[in-house]
Amino acid sequence: MERTEKHLYAVMTTILCTMALTGIVVDGPSETMQGFLTLQTHAGRLINDFTTVGVGAALLNSALVGAIGLVLVYFVEVSLSGPTIAAIFTLAGFGFFGKTPLNCLPIIAGVWIAARVAHKSLGSYSLIALFGTALGPLVTYLMFDMGLSLPLSVPLGLTAGLLVGVFLPAVAGSMLQLHQGYNLYNVGFTCGFIGLFASSLLLATDSMASLTIVWSTTYHPVLMLLIPVISLFLIASGVVSEGFEQIRKTFSEFSKIQRLSGRLPTDFFDQSNAGGTLLNMGLLGLASWSYVWVTGAPFNGPVLGGIFTIIGFGCFGKSLKNTWPIVLGAVSATLLFGKDLTAPGPILAALFCTTLAPIAGQFGMIAGFIAGFIHLFMVETTAAWHGGLDLYNNGFAGGLTASLLIAILQWYKTNRPMEDFRQ
Amino acid sequence: MKRKEFLGRLIGELTHFMLEGNPLRMVVSLHQEEDGAHISIFDDRPRPDDELKRIRSSLNPKSHRPELAEYYGTMAGHDMAWDARLKLIGWQIKHASVENTDDGLRIDLWLGSDAFNPANFTLHEKQ
């Protein structure tokens, strides 16, 4: 293991352990554990804020879901680098609103079966396995929300999780071709597509409950301070990893990252150094936190999940430069359509729309603005299509937006008359 | 035809890269063995040293990245509209050599199973 990778393991372990310990300290071991067990029986469909059960329980759940990712990366022997760190942060983020260890593991096992069938290692499909846990609510919805007896519902939920895990690698590869890597949450796009079929089947059997929003507006100092603390820790880790004497180089690598398009797969640890990448992650975290603070939106589970995802993708496609035009587009659409910036849909869209950052990175600010604008009104409707079963609903909407824009841009680029052979 | 698709993707991305230089002449050659293959491509556009270095580093990544090769590697050869991405090839092959010949750029890719050893390649013996 290289020195940088060891440093990254230390950083990730510190963050996850601190979150788990904070959770236990905040609510006490007994209440935290009780809340954590309660969360395991939540369906977790969109939008289900786990902090309403207990801040400590949500923190512990988030840390454990993230730890599953970290342990998996270690044991399947793939690099702890841009894509895997993005996946672990995303797992931890969604541990605040939808993912639990119980609903993640069957999907990972399903992807493992697919890997065996294709004679590949689980490491080869590790990113699909980690991001594929977005369909976790399908497992827990079938287990606990269908009104079936547990001896029937538990095997049903496990089987559904295994099945979607088996299909994920096949579908994820095909979905990539639609947007050509311009939607960072490609597995979210994939899960939305699979979720459409699962939701339609449940509707056909009259087993689909309508969507509800569980959204905390309660202020809690730990939730408020979590992101600044993690962001500052990442920035400090970046500076320490390269050494104080190299601080100028760290900043120059950070500015190098701002020049990258971020199109999938751009591993910033590969294209730059650890210092510049960790600095980018930390600053993205602070910028996102500042936006939420300025708008007055609550720092609850889903909002923290959004910021965690942005921080994670700060080493795998997102930079300050390629995200702001998208956010500006989504915010402009919110205001133009007379919506409240702090309402669940718009605030989450403003954070998660950064899935389209590579469009701004590659085609410029105006294209990014248009992508963000379209994304807002798409994401408001897509959750209902898959019944809230795909936690990465913004990845699904972002995939649709990116596919449309890329198809148009591709048609334009491949029909330039000046490059034809002379007639 | 798993092998056909794999080779097609690599050759597609490689030709995409070479065509970005707008060559007047380009040749692609493939030789397959039971356990591996050799793809050679050359054109009439010599490249400066810094570009050769960049191509070499893209095609010969520092570490083995199976998580990127299997998943994102499927994008290789699919998209001719935007910039070619040699890293998509680099993650999926065993080794690449890049050099300027008298006429232009020459890239050799060596790929195959774990057992495949380019040193045992029989092309030269047959010649």
Tell me the pLDDT tens digit for each residue of A138-149: 999 999 998 899
The encoded tokens of residue A145 equal 């929300």
Alpha helical stretches, state H, A215-364: 221-242, 247-258, 268-271, 274-295, 301-312, 320-336, 344-352, 357-363
**Is B71 in contact with A84 (Cβ distance < 8 A)?**
no
Q: What is the pLDDT of residue A375?
A: 96
Share of chain A above pLDDT 70, in %: 99
B22 — contact with chain A (CB < 8 Å)? no
More confident residue, A194 or B116: A194
d(CA A142, CA A307): 29
Q: Is the pLDDT of residue B25 over 70?
A: yes
Residues A186-200, mean pLDDT to the nearest whole number? 96
CA–CA separation, B86 and B16 (whole Å): 10
Residues in B closer than 8 angstroms to A177, CB to CB, are 74-75, 78
pLDDT band at A414 (very low <50, low <70, confident <90, very high): confident
Average pLDDT of the segment spanning A99-113: 97
C-beta separation of A390 from A133 below 8 A: no
What is the per-residue pLDDT for B35?
Answer: 80
Q: Are the C-beta atoms of residues A298 and A218 closer than 8 Å to each other? A: yes
Residue A350 vs residues A99, A311, A318: alpha-carbon distances, Å: 21, 14, 14
**Residue B123 pLDDT greater than 70, yes or no:** no
Q: What whole-number percentage of chain B has pLDDT above 90?
A: 61
Check CB contact under 8 Å for A409 and B66. Answer: no
Chain B (54-93) residues lying within 8 Å, Cβ to Cβ, of chain A: 61-63, 65-72, 74-75, 78-82, 87
Chain A touched by B8 (CB under 8 Å): no
What is the predicted pLDDT for the residue at B120? Answer: 62
* ipTM associated with this complex: 0.89
Joined together, the tokens standing for residue A395 give 């990845």
Compute the distance between CA of residue A111 and CA of residue A105 in angstroms, rounded to an integer: 10
Integer Cα distance of A9 and A13 in angstroms: 6
Per-residue pLDDT band for B116 (boundaries 50, 70, 90) equals low
Residue B28 β-bridge partners: B41
Q: pLDDT tens for residues B33-82?
A: 888 889 999 999 999 999 999 999 999 998 889 999 989 999 999 888 88
Higher pLDDT, B81 or B97: B97
Q: What values do phi and psi take at A402, rounded to 5? A: -65, -40
Distance of CA A304 to the CA centre of its chain: 11
Q: Which chain B residues are closer than 8 Å to A169 by Cβ?
A: 71
Nearest CA in chain A to B86: A265
A4 in contact with B at a CB cutoff of 8 Å?
no
| Whether B90 contacts A191, CB under 8 Å | no
Q: Please report how the helices A274-295 and A344-352 are oriented relative to each other, as an axis angle in degrees rounded to 10.
A: 160
pLDDT of residue A21: 97
- CA separation, residue A68 to residues A86, A119, A353 (Å): 14, 24, 26
Residues 148-207 of A with CB under 8 A from B: 169, 172-173, 176-177, 180-181
**Cβ pair A331, A353 in contact under 8 A:** no
The 3-state DSSP class for residue B110 equals strand
Please check whether residue B43 is in contact with residue B26, taking contact to mean a CB–CB distance below 8 angstroms. Answer: yes
Q: Rounded distance, CA B125 to CA A377, Å?
A: 64
Instruction: Name every chain A residue with its beta carbon within 8 A of the beta carbon of B24.
Output: none
Q: For chain A, which residues make up each domain, given as ranges? A: 3-204, 221-413
Instruction: Give the Å distances, CA to CA, from A302 to A79, A160, A381.
Output: 28, 25, 18
Q: CB–CB of B55/B107 below 8 Å?
A: yes
Sheet holding B95-100: strands in order across? B26-32, B36-43, B105-112, B95-100
Round to whole Å and give the CA distance between A353 and A395.
8
Token look-up 């993707």 returns B9
Give which of A72, A127, A260 to mutate to test B binding, by max B Cβ within 10 Å.
Answer: A127
Q: Given this model, what pLDDT does residue A421 score?
A: 74
Mean pLDDT confidence for A312-331: 97
Least confident of A66-80, A219-233, A239-253, A394-408: A239-253
**CA-nearest residue of chain B to A73?**
B67
Structure tokens that stand for B69 in this block: 């090769």
pLDDT, averaged across chain B: 87
Give me the residue from A2, A78, A264 closest to B72, CB to CB.
A264
Residue B64 to chain A, least CA–CA distance (Å):
8
- Give the pLDDT of residue A89: 97
CA distance linking residue A141 with residue A62, whole number of Å: 19
CB A369 within 8 A of CB A325: yes
Q: Which of A287-301, B2-16, B88-102 has the highest mean pLDDT?
A: A287-301
Contact B84, A186 (CB under 8 A): no
Portion of chain A with pLDDT greater than 90, in percent: 90
Domain B2-126 sits in CATH at 3.30.565
**C-alpha dist (Å) from residue A188 to A131, A316, B86:** 7, 15, 26
More confident residue, A393 or B117: A393
Unique residue bearing structure tokens 């063995």: B33
Q: Are A161 and A137 in contact (CB under 8 A)?
A: no
pLDDT of residue A402: 97
pLDDT of B114 > 80? The answer is no
**Per-residue pLDDT averaged across B17-25, rounded?**
93
- By the 8 A CB rule, do A122 and A179 touch? no
Indicate the pLDDT class of residue A79, thresholds 50, 70 and 90: very high
Residue pair A173/B71 in contact by the 8 Å Cβ criterion = yes
What are the residue ranges of helices labelled H in A118-218? 126-131, 136-144, 150-179, 186-204
Helix, strand, or coil here: B15? helix
pLDDT class of B126 with cuts at 50, 70, 90: very low
CA distance A97 to A86: 17
